[in-house]
Amino acid sequence: MIPSSSGRLGNREILVPASVRIAQEKAAEKVRAARERRLARARLKAAREELAIAKMAWKIAKALDRKAAQREREAARLERKAERVAFQLARRDRIEQERMLQKARRADLRKKRKAKLRAAAEKPKKG
């Protein structure tokens, strides 16, 4: 005797041969396997898309980091240049001030010498 399973339809019992049941189970398994493959492919596609997005984000982050480092180097260069210019200006001012003081000293000495000569010229000679 062929093993079979039974199902009920209303009040009547329907006998289903084992070969039909096996065929139905195989078909159901095929459908389930196909659905799982589709889901796996979809997950793989999503993972690839996430990886692509992560790579793009990484590239953008690297580019931003590189640009920030470049800006920092440029700022440091400009700061050094500003310090050098400030030092040169301070030195120039100091030298100019020293020249002015020297000039004022010479003028003062000149005035004193002239005053001394005038005073000596105005003094009556003894004798």
pLDDT, one tens digit for every residue, the chain (127 residues)? 445 565 666 677 778 788 988 999 999 999 999 999 999 999 999 999 999 999 999 999 999 999 999 999 999 999 999 999 999 999 999 999 999 999 999 999 999 999 988 888 887 766 5
3-state secondary structure of 2: coil
Which is it for strands 4-9 and 12-17: parallel, antiparallel or unpaired?
antiparallel
Q: Are 42 and 52 in contact (CB under 8 A)?
A: no
Provide the β-strand partners of residue 12.
Answer: 9
Structure tokens given for 55: 């790579």
